[in-house]
């Protein structure tokens, strides 16, 4: 019998395994080989930002950033994640002052400067994506407006960082049981029983369900979280193009989309369509629909999202709009990235009602990846029942009120259920 069983080997699950590993026997179960094809973090890169107007998340982000940049402790050795991180900075299109996001950004920078001494070098540039010549790669850009460059930001090499942390967990004695799903979890005062899809039964003192957008397939959370699908595509760069663009920052336009520096191994440049998403109507938005599991019905991303990505390229990367043959460049490897969403974007880290000693961590809401180094310490504290009352309340299982009210940092205009999508 293990002390701790963790169901799900993504960001929340692996981080928790690392934080429990030195003092407990830990087993991690995943339906697939880690990094799972279903995990939102099985990707080339993810944004690691500091900007929050909520002091809890700002503090956590600053703490996490220190680990990404090489800090270590008894849980994570110094430099463990440093090779999975690039402190490349981010250029953001400043939204209109009437936008909720404008206030969010101003409040966030004020908090980070005054409370944490971060983001002091942020600068704004009018109609100049090169940011005063710092990024000559963008001299052909058609982008207009005010651009804010924050050098105190970066990207995590997502799948690579998961593998790095998994290997570290293995070195600490964590056991991994992959390619077997969970059929049932029974809580109990003395022990927890987990029945796998294969029929095998496992027992532990405590269990954590950390399955991201898939969490509701394992435990009933009564609609506290929903699964939201976001749209991602890529373009292939030549060797010469890669050399030109390899050191660009993230460029983020909240109403159109955003893109990343190209991946150094594949030379693929990832672009994401903003302000649109999808959901599964049949499950009331509770469950994801993965291309990996149903390739005949979930085929790619909407044609409108590909057009949006092409507009993003035209505006900000016009030299990459056409390939070397003069043909419109292919937007390839398109996929829906499913996130576990809460109505206010707060995480859920709590004990599951009527299942003693079964805990859940989900509700990443599209901003959980950056906390890979440290979210496990907070989940461990909740499972040890010594998380601060403030955080226990903030992350408690709760009734979600799904309204059209905008979350300040998220701009969303178009939302279609997945069965009405016209596929690219």
The C-alpha atoms of residue 258 and residue 188 are separated, in whole angstroms, by 46
pTM metric for this prediction: 0.96
Burial track 99-125 (b if 16+ CB lie within 10 A, e otherwise): bebeebbeebbebbeeebebbeebeeb
Paired residues of 160 in beta bridges:
none
> Strands 192-196, 201-209: parallel, antiparallel or unpaired by DSSP?
antiparallel
* DSSP three-state, residue 186: strand
Specify the CATH number of the domain 2-394: 3.50.50.60
The C-alpha atoms of residue 369 and residue 224 are separated, in whole angstroms, by 20
The C-alpha atoms of residue 368 and residue 212 are separated, in whole angstroms, by 10
The C-alpha atoms of residue 247 and residue 262 are separated, in whole angstroms, by 8
* C-alpha dihedral (149, 152, 158, 163), degrees to nearest 10: 160
Per-residue confidence of the chain (424 residues) as pLDDT tens digits?
A: 899 999 999 999 999 999 999 999 999 999 999 999 999 988 999 999 999 999 999 999 999 999 999 999 989 999 999 999 999 999 999 999 998 899 999 999 999 999 999 999 999 999 999 999 999 999 999 999 999 999 999 999 999 999 999 999 999 999 999 999 999 999 999 999 999 999 999 999 999 999 999 999 999 999 999 999 999 999 999 999 999 999 999 999 999 999 999 999 999 999 999 989 999 999 999 999 999 999 999 999 999 999 999 999 999 999 999 998 999 999 999 999 999 999 999 999 999 999 999 999 999 999 999 999 999 999 999 999 999 999 999 999 998 777 655 576 666 667 899 999 999 8
The C-alpha atoms of residue 99 and residue 87 are separated, in whole angstroms, by 28
The C-alpha atoms of residue 271 and residue 20 are separated, in whole angstroms, by 36
Domain map (residue ranges) of the chain: 2-394
> Strands 46-48, 154-156: parallel, antiparallel or unpaired by DSSP?
antiparallel
- Using only C-alpha atoms, the chain has a radius of gyration, in whole angstroms, of 21
Closest CA to 271 of 319, 308, 234: 234
């Amino acid at each position: 019998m293990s002390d701790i069983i963790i169901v799900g080997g993504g960001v929340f699950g692996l981080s928790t395994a690392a934080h429990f590993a030195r003092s407990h026997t830990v087993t991690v179960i995943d339906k697939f080989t880690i990094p799972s094809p279903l995990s939102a973090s099985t990707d080339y890169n993810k944004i690691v930002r500091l900007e929050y107007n909520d002091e809890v998340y700002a503090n956590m982000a600053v703490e996490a950033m220190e680990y990404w940049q090489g800090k270590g402790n008894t849980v994570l050795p110094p430099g463990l994640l440093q090779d999975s991180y690039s402190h490349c900075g981010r250029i953001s299109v400043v939204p209109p002052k009437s936008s909720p996001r404008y206030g969010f950004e101003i409040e966030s920078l004020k908090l980070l400067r005054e409370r944490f001494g971060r983001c002091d070098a942020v600068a704004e540039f009018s109609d100049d994506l090169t940011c005063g010549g710092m990024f000559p790669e963008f001299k052909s850009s058609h982008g207009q407006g005010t651009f804010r460059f924050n050098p105190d930001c970066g990207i995590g090499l997502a799948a690579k960082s998961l593998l790095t942390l998994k290997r570290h967990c293995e070195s600490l004695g964590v056991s991994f049981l992959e390619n077997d799903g969970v059929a049932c979890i029974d809580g109990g005062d003395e022990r927890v029983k987990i029945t796998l899809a294969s029929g095998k039964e496992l027992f532990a003192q405590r269990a954590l369900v950390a399955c991201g957008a898939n969490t509701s397939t394992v435990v009933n959370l009564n609609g506290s979280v929903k699964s939201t699908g976001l749209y991602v595509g890529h373009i292939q760069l030549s060797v010469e193009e890669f050399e030109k663009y390899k050191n660009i920052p993230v460029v983020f336009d909240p109403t159109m989309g955003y893109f990343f520096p190209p991946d150094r191994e594949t030379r693929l440049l990832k672009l994401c369509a903003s302000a649109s998403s999808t959901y599964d109507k049949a499950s009331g938005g509770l469950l994801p629909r993965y291309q990996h599991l149903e390739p005949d019905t979930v085929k790619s991303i909407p044609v409108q999202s590909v057009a949006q990505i092409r507009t993003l390229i035209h505006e900000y990367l016009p030299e990459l709009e056409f390939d070397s043959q003069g043909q419109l460049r292919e937007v390839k490897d398109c996929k829906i990235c499913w996130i576990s969403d809460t109505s206010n974007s707060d995480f859920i880290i709590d004990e599951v009602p009527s299942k003693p000693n079964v805990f859940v961590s989900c509700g990443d809401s599209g901003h959980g990846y950056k906390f890979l180094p440290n979210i496990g310490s907070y989940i461990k504290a909740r499972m040890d029942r010594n998380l601060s009352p403030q955080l226990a309340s903030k992350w408690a299982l709760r009734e979600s009120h799904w309204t059209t009210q905008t979350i300040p940092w998220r701009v969303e205009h178009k939302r279609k259920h997945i069965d009405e999508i016209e596929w690219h």
